[in-house]
Amino acid sequence: MNTPQQIAEIFERHLSLINMPDEPQRLYAPIRYSLAEGGKRMRPVLAMLAYNIYADDIQRVLPAAVAIEVFHNFTLLHDDIMDNAAVRRGRESVFAKWGSNVAILSGDVMMIEAYRHLQGVEAKYLPSVFERFNAMAAQVCEGQQYDMDFEIQSKVAVAEYMNMIELKTAALLAGSVVIGATLAGADEEDLHKLNKFAIEVGLAFQLQDDLLDSYGDEQLGKKIGGDILEGKKTYLMIISLSHATEEQREVLRSTHLRTDITDEQKIAAVKEIYDAVGARQMTEQQISVRISRALAILDTLSVPQSRLEYMRSYVESLVGRKK
């Protein structure tokens, strides 16, 4: 077994050795660019940790882990076009650097690249892994569509929001975990449990992400309040709308559109209502419930507790329970 840290290093080393064609240059350069310095590698690490619960020869999960990471980065590349986002992980987005046509087509070939890596899956597992991968990929797109729909929708129910993030964020984490465990020979019952486990983790992770955007640590280099300034319908916003007075609701809905106050004042005005209705506590509560539920599911797997240690600590670190 490997620690999450070791796993991330194994993955990074493997990824750095992957060859891609040089030509056409404007097609493949953006792919290399977006895979380099690529964030936490959370999805491949989850796939590899899930594999490691059942088996030790972790090399066998690498092709699928790469496929998932490449697919994830493809979605970011296309999301940045749709969201008109100029910055990704502190650098220019592909869209900003090369323009939208290059971003569309490089993204397309990046999705195909993801499938090419899936070719490395052993033939006996290929049909089931392929099916799982496709289902997960479609769910991510469905989630992104609902997220865009919400922008022009006046009311979004909490249940609708949870369904959206289950598709947009949690499905990919669940797919990663299930594919990793499948390749290690886990049985159907464990796969079913792992799926539920990872959905809970994914929901908690997304809520945590929403929370950090409004209550994160500026010292970590991230600007606070971006979601508020965009008027994004995050969990904090939706749950606040559902608990607010009519007067507070009006503030929540219109503050980001005001031109007579500064950004800092807008953020303060919205957070005042978040605090008044207890949105932060409710979100933290949700995260805590989801993670506890996830860890409880983990305990019911058909393996000795010692095999679960690293997955447990990794999941806790994702939502800041541990470093």
Q: Which residues bind its own copies (CB under 8 A)?
A: 21, 23-24, 26-27, 78, 81-82, 100-101, 104-105, 107-109, 111-113, 115-116, 118-119, 123, 126-127, 130-131, 134, 137-138, 141-142, 144-146, 148-149
Nearer to its own copies, 146 or 314 (CB): 146
Residue 136 C-beta: closest distance to its own copies, Å: 9
Residue 163 C-beta: closest distance to its own copies, Å: 10
Q: What's the CA gap between 218 and 195, in Å, rounded?
A: 34
Which one, of 194, 148, 144, lies nearest residue 167 by Cα? Answer: 144
Nearer to its own copies, 123 or 159 (CB): 123
Residue 79 C-beta: closest distance to its own copies, Å: 9
Task: Tell me if the bond preceding 304 is cis, omega within 30° of 0.
Answer: no
**Angle between helical axes of 158-165 and 126-151 (0-180°, round to 10):** 140
Q: What's the CA gap between 127 and 55, in Å, rounded?
A: 20
Nearer to its own copies, 113 or 200 (CB): 113
Residue 305 C-beta: closest distance to its own copies, Å: 36
Q: What's the CA gap between 274 and 4, in Å, rounded?
A: 35
Residue 289 C-beta: closest distance to its own copies, Å: 28
Nearer to its own copies, 8 or 170 (CB): 170
Nearer to its own copies, 83 or 316 (CB): 83
Which one, of 35, 71, 37, 13, lies nearest residue 2 by Cα? Answer: 13
Q: What's the CA gap between 308 and 160, in Å, rounded?
A: 32
